[in-house]
Structure 1
Amino acid sequence: RPAAPRRIEGESLGIQTTARAVLVADNASGAVLYAKHDQASQPIASITKLMTALVFLDHNPGWETKVTVTAADQRDGGIVYLNQGETVTVRDLFHLMLVASANEAAAALARSTGLENFVAAMNQKAAELGMNQSQFTDETGLSAGNIASPRDLVTLAGAAFSQPDLARAVTTSQYLFTVGSSGRRRLAVSTDQLLQSFINTGPYRITGAKTGHLDEAGYTLVVTVQKDNGPTVTLVLLGAASQPDRWQEAKGLVDWVFGHYRWPDES
């Protein structure tokens, strides 16, 4: 593994966070750059959908496969983009799940694979990845039983964002799709406001991200940020107190880490 980044200024201990559990890790070396309860398992909310996406990609029936949304796919919570009886492609479902965090899309996408026990496949995938502090109970993240530690979510992000289709989807700020043969077009908007922030503009670039929120989970986030096409870090925040807190704490931590560490290939 490459050498870890070196701490260059020893006084600052990082920033205060409302988030209950936090981890910032260097992607290349795996070095922990900032941690707070990083091995404590917590509800992760819609970050769950990254695992749903990985299992789906193992069993993709074909991007142009048509799927009709059923009553069983409908969920309470979040913005609803698809109603019962509406037909879209698997590609649309994948993007609606990852861009807009649509729960009915996640349910329909899981069903499209034909897997009898999708959740069992999620837990099997977690075990294969070595995510020993994780448990999955549904494919949407609406269940507070979907839990993981920040340490495990860095692992999940590494696996998920290395898949080009997945990485492209989670860094898309809006997605236009057509429902059935009606020609009716709808626009899905990303849940990730960081895509419009300074950590996704010059020298920084977001290469992967997923948000979540549940009463039991608070506001959650995993995001991978690259600086100057070089050093890359993955940040996990679980249990932030509010949506503004989540965004501010993420931006503050990214800024702090890149300001207080020097990477081996930086002069």
Structure 2
Amino acid sequence: MRVSQILLGLMSAVFLVVTPLSAEAASKKPVAKTSTKAPASSKLTKPVAKKVKLAPSSVRSKQFKPVLENDFDKEGNPLIRSSAFFVQDVNTGEVLLERNASAPQPIASITKLMTAMVVLDAHQNLSEIIEVSDDDVDRLKGTSSRLAVGTQLSREDMLRLALMASENRAASSLARSYPGGMNAFLEAVAVKISLMGLHDTRIFDGTGLNKNNVSSARDLATLVANASRYPLIREFSTASEHTVALKGGRSHTFHSTNSLVKSPDWQIDVQKTGYISESGKCLVMQAWMGNKPLAIVLLDSWGRYTRVGDAQRIRKWLETMAMHRSQPVASAGHPGLSHSN
């Protein structure tokens, strides 16, 4: 399949490389989750970044425990342990927090957001049954799966499990069953990356198990903003659990890999976690705070709970800033703050 043919197919979905959303959109409350079966059109959005210098967070320490008693330093900066992070107002493009935001690094299962977008762009039948094959078995990392070879599920269920439970065999089967096969899938991914303007992003499989799948925190903020345009991605990625019938007829309930989707303190449009040894713990979200959507990207968190703790610290910092709205975010006065490098 020629790249030009893929480009024409993708452009038929009316791509728009968007700058910040309108004031009208900014005033709207989060869109309620929808159970519609029809894939959303793929309107691309790329917030315009406004650089704001912020002070570096403390160096990661093995003595750190993911509790919130020590959320801020003496200057009031959030103590974020992830090695790279990026927080951006999706509507205005204003960057609220960042560190190492332009440094490409492995993204693990965050890849599955791209897989979902490309699959939905192809407008395949979501009711079609897909069978897990031996080609879907992970021979890179040796991860296990409840989806035994021979398991048959609808494309919709595979998509849901890939996004919610980060099921690798589900994601692999979606990429493998793409029109034209795996090579056509990867070509479509490359075109999608180009259309979104992701300069630091390279993807070589549909699961994220490949350590060569890399991106930057800044690129991922654009990716998650685009993923939020798909109703099914919003619905499936923020579901807390889903039960399917496995091979042999027995049922199994899968659960979300992100505990924040159950929290009443969070209004999350779309999210995805990721982990392989090369990437560390990762988390990307678009969440509503102060009646506006924020892209939150946390990469290479070393501890089991660090990425969730960092997200909580960011939320608390933003709530604190909202209490002092007479002072602009940039005047938070973070001395000696490092930029993305």
TM-score (norm 2): 0.70
After TM superposition, give the deviation of residue 114 of structure 1 in Å. 2.3
In structure 2, the CA distance between the partners of 1:247 and 1:79, relative to structure 1 (3 Å rule), is farther
> Which residue identity is paired with 1:28?
N
> Which residue identity is paired with 1:232?
P
1:120 aligns with 2:197: no
After TM superposition, give the deviation of residue 15 of structure 1 in Å. 1.7
Equivalent pairs, count:
255
In structure 1, the partner of 2:275 is: 213
Q: Distance in 2 between matches of 1:77 and 1:150?
A: 27
Contact 2:80 2:313 in 1 (8 A): no
Give the match's secondary structure for 2:305: helix
Contact 2:196 2:222 in 1 (8 A): yes
| Correspondent of 2:235 among 149, 168, 171 | 168
Q: Distance in 2 between matches of 1:113 and 1:263?
A: 48
1:29 aligns with 2:29: no
1:70-117 per-residue CA deviation (whole Å, 9 max, x = no partner) reads 101111454512111111110110011001101110110112222331
- Identify the range of structure 1 (120-129 vs 148-157) with the bigger mean alpha-carbon deviation: 120-129
In structure 2, the CA distance between the partners of 1:86 and 1:150, relative to structure 1 (3 Å rule), is same
| Correspondent of 2:117 among 54, 60, 80 | 54
In structure 2, the CA distance between the partners of 1:172 and 1:79, relative to structure 1 (3 Å rule), is farther
TM-align CA RMSD: 2.4
| Correspondent of 1:232 among 293, 307, 318 | 293
> Which residue identity is paired with 1:255?
K
Q: Distance in 1 between matches of 2:294 and 2:321?
A: 13
- Identify the range of structure 1 (84-93 vs 249-258) with the bigger mean alpha-carbon deviation: 249-258
In structure 1, the partner of 2:129 is: 66
Q: Distance in 2 between matches of 1:70 and 1:101?
A: 18
In structure 2, the CA distance between the partners of 1:232 and 1:44, relative to structure 1 (3 Å rule), is same
Give the match's secondary structure for 1:243: coil
Contact 1:79 1:102 in 2 (8 A): no
Q: Spell out the pairing of 1:182-221 with structure 2 (5 A cutoff).
A: 183-197=249-263, 201-202=264-265, 204-221=266-283
Q: Distance in 2 between matches of 1:179 and 1:84?
A: 10
1:94 aligns with 2:159: yes
1:132 aligns with 2:132: no
Contact 1:14 1:34 in 2 (8 A): no
Q: Distance in 2 between matches of 1:97 and 1:48?
A: 10
Moved over 2 A (4+): 1-5, 10-14, 76-79, 261-264
Higher strand proportion, which one?
1
Unaligned ranges ≥5, structure 1: none
Query: Identity over aligned residues, as a percent?
Result: 32
Q: Distance in 2 between matches of 1:49 and 1:72?
A: 17
Give the match's secondary structure for 1:259: helix
> Which residue identity is paired with 2:92?
S
Larger Rg: 2
Contact 1:134 1:146 in 2 (8 A): yes
> Which residue identity is paired with 1:43?
P
After TM superposition, give the deviation of residue 121 of structure 1 in Å. 1.6
1:40-61 per-residue CA deviation (whole Å, 9 max, x = no partner) reads 1111110010001111111242
Contact 1:224 1:232 in 2 (8 A): yes
Contact 2:82 2:307 in 1 (8 A): yes
Contact 2:171 2:207 in 1 (8 A): yes
Give the match's secondary structure for 1:143: coil
After TM superposition, give the deviation of residue 176 of structure 1 in Å. 1.1
In structure 2, the partner of 1:154 is: 221
Contact 1:231 1:263 in 2 (8 A): no
In structure 2, the CA distance between the partners of 1:242 and 1:183, relative to structure 1 (3 Å rule), is same
Q: Distance in 2 between matches of 1:258 and 1:211?
A: 24
Q: Distance in 1 between matches of 2:177 and 2:186?
A: 14
After TM superposition, give the deviation of residue 236 of structure 1 in Å. 0.3
After TM superposition, give the deviation of residue 17 of structure 1 in Å. 2.4
